[in-house]
Structure 1
């Protein structure tokens, strides 16, 4: 399952924990923080940017 997030949206999304940029993590349906490394799930093409839902790498 690949993440379908528009590039313009990905540019403005930020990690709620450290405010760093996010990037699509491989072929999985996840967004990874470029700063602290937390990995956020994407459900039904909607990023779940809750620190409690994130997993550590």
Structure 2
């Protein structure tokens, strides 16, 4: 896993401070509340709102 469980437990969405979880591929963190995907590059989560990818509404 690219992001350790300990790090995942303390990370929060920079926009809403909500909970994040790994996507299925393990290469991004998803905030369900904001519908944003924060990419993980070289095992480092990119936690910048401007670089987040909007997710399609279900």
TM-score bracket for the superposition, by shorter chain length: 0.7 to 0.9
Pairs aligned (count): 55
CA RMSD of aligned residues (A): 1.1
Specify every segment of 5 or more residues in structure 2 that has no aligned partner in the other structure, as ranges: none
Structure 1 runs of 4+ with >4 Å offset = none
Deviations 1:15-54 (A, max 9, x none): 0001001100111511101321210010000000000000
Quick one: distance in 1 between partners of 2:2 and 2:26?
11
TM-score by length of 2: 0.86
Question: 2:35 maps to what in 1?
Answer: 37
Q: Does 1:51 align with 2:20?
A: no
